[in-house]
Chain A
């Protein structure tokens, strides 16, 4: 199958990159991996269940601040603990938020998620004794599987051990998501997207399953957020701003939401493209807006949907 071969080639390329690519490009890939994980979650919500969240950045911010809090304030440096904690925090917040949001569909869902995202942003900004306010909280270098790699400077750390850790996490996330999508839950979700009423008649608890999708997406988002914060070294409120959520959706669309690996591809392409365009022109927002418009109008299936008729994901 073309898809599988391409995936293998891609994986090999990514694994061998640290041996051939210059360090800056490697550091560029790190946020792409993190976004990839978060977007796998977002795609469960959008591609599989049909709910477009315009506040997903909320969970990325949660993950980032969890990492920041654990490393700076509590002194925990183990990335495993951080990732687990981020997942937990994401799930915990997703429960009340999700219960609220999945009552509504489409536009209302989008608006409500946007409102929650901005609520969190305001919270992060205003309650500065807790969150550091506009300055944020630092994210200190974590240990990977217990190893501090103290002899490596940050660049070597990021382009070496951390790179592989992030890539492994992305691969694991993809495998888990694949399982979910193919599970009975995943099938039910797709049925719900196609025709909620029919699904309801057949006995699928529509609201409950949407809720599950929401929480899972939140967990993936938070893990992605924690990973994202490590290269930056800081968690700040702007991570929760609605335009950040907009960018996430942009990436998703760019890669192709109907394809399972679309989100990952979208993240990679977006990051690399943004880097190039930002250096070329001060008006990169215009270019990107135009790109998004073109994608929405002409290539709604994204890059991985090019040349393929609209079909279901694997």
Chain B
């Protein structure tokens, strides 16, 4: 029989504990959970040449959302995704307006195509809707039309891949090639990347003669004439920033004509469709870029490995870079909200506070730490390497894997791309 004093102490302890517990619960989380879910609008491409990347980005977004919600959401509020389709600029602007005006989402994540990217910038400012783009960062979009955006947060520059590939080319193959040929999709991305490559070759003092410049339509499915032209021109090195279904087709047809043996290959973005680059027609020794995510990176984080495993189990495919872009926009938003909430002493932050918090926010993406610069451009790590057949797949992978961050290959804010390149000390 315990003495009365102990029982009273126990009783006091219990009530104190209960009071303390009740006090804690009265403080933070439930207040937010009662406000309903955080609505995030998503613009994902579903048809056409963008469809595979759009789907990829969406998967990254969905995985991030699932995990965040499983862990309680953002400050106790679950994320609810409102998914719309990215198509033509005109239609996508209308979907964006719908998300902002009718669905009243807290932020919008998405957009890959250059035309859409250019159109959405001003619209985000007009709608006062936070927009976290997955891609589509052209020079024009950033410099000319949106010098000081408030609501738009863009992805990494479109030229980063070309810059990195050019640097690797200069390092590995300087002096080993005399003639170059370029085969790039005929639109801003293709043109900007090719121009960047040529500028960097010049900067490094590489005297390469351009023997052929080809501009097939984006997403073309037949390159017989182009391959024939390349055969005639006999380049030592072929540069291409193909990123869509045209990549494996070109490789196939180029291989059939013997080009993959006679020329060095630089494929800045082909890693996006890596699974279709089968060993049958993709040679070893080519420089291949995977944008900001490489699925078999030896030093990948446990998070990345878990994602790759999940993706492969669910879709029987290995993920590409767009998934990571999508993933990052979600976790970055969460991090920004949490950061802003702390400053707002526990109250749910205003939109302006979230925007301020997004500037400079750092979050762990699937490929390592990423952040948004103060000028709203993303900072990330890029993965490129030399192709190899030594793996357990039927397609090529890269080994060794080179990584470069945007500090090395993306122009800093306020500087023009070519001014920046010309200012390098080589």
Contact = CB atoms under 8 A, between A and B. Distances in A.
Interface of A: 22-25, 27-28, 31, 125-126, 128, 132-136, 138, 153-155, 228, 231-234, 236-239, 275, 278-279, 282, 285
A153 B97 CA distance: 14
Interface of B: 46-47, 84-85, 88-90, 93-95, 97-98, 101-102, 113-115, 118-119, 122-123, 126-128, 138, 140-141, 145, 186-188, 191, 218
Nearest to A23: B101
Nearest to B138: A135
B110 to A, nearest CB: 14
A128 B188 contact: yes
A134 B114 contact: yes
Contacts of B85: 278, 282
Given A125-B187, A138-B118, A154-B126, A234 B89 contact: yes
Contacts of B186: 125-126
B93 A24 contact: no
A135 B98 contact: no
Contact of A236 (B90, B138, B141): B90
A29 B47 CA distance: 25
A275 B119 contact: no
Contacts of A232: 89-90, 93-94, 119
Contacts, number: 91
A241 B137 CA distance: 24
Interface residues of A, dominant DSSP: helix
Nearest to B88: A238
A232 B88 CA distance: 11
A135 B141 contact: yes
A288 to B, nearest CB: 13
Most A CB within 10 A of own CB, among B95, B118, B127, B140: B118
A23 B218 CA distance: 37
16 contacts: A23-B101, A27-B101, A125-B186, A125-B187, A128-B191, A133-B187, A135-B140, A136-B119, A228-B90, A236-B88, A236-B89, A238-B89, A238-B115, A275-B98, A278-B85, A279-B98
B93 A155 contact: no
Given A27-B101, A275-B98, 11 more contacts: A133-B187, A134-B113, A134-B114, A135-B115, A136-B115, A232-B90, A233-B119, A236-B90, A238-B89, A238-B90, A278-B84
Given A125-B187, A238-B89, A136 B98 contact: no
Contacts of A282: 46, 85
A276 B126 CA distance: 24
A278 to B, nearest CB: 6
Contacts of A23: 101
Given A24-B101, A27-B97, A138 B126 contact: no
Given A234-B89, A236-B119, A153 B126 contact: yes
Contact of A231 (B47, B93, B128): B93
Interface residues of B, dominant DSSP: helix
Contacts of B191: 128
Contacts of A275: 94, 98
A279 B115 CA distance: 22
Nearest to B190: A134
A27 B127 contact: no
Contacts of A134: 113-115, 187-188, 218
A282 B51 CA distance: 12
Contacts of A237: 115
A134 B186 CA distance: 9
Contacts of B218: 134
3 closest A-B pairs by beta carbon, nearest first, are A154-B126, A24-B101, A24-B102
A138 B118 CA distance: 8
Nearest to B92: A232
A175 B93 CA distance: 31
A190 B218 CA distance: 44
A236 B126 contact: no
B50 to A, nearest CB: 12
Contact of B115 (A22, A27, A236): A236
Given A133-B187, A134-B188, A278-B84, A234 B97 contact: no
A134 B187 CA distance: 6
A128 B94 CA distance: 25
B93 A233 contact: yes
B123 A233 contact: yes
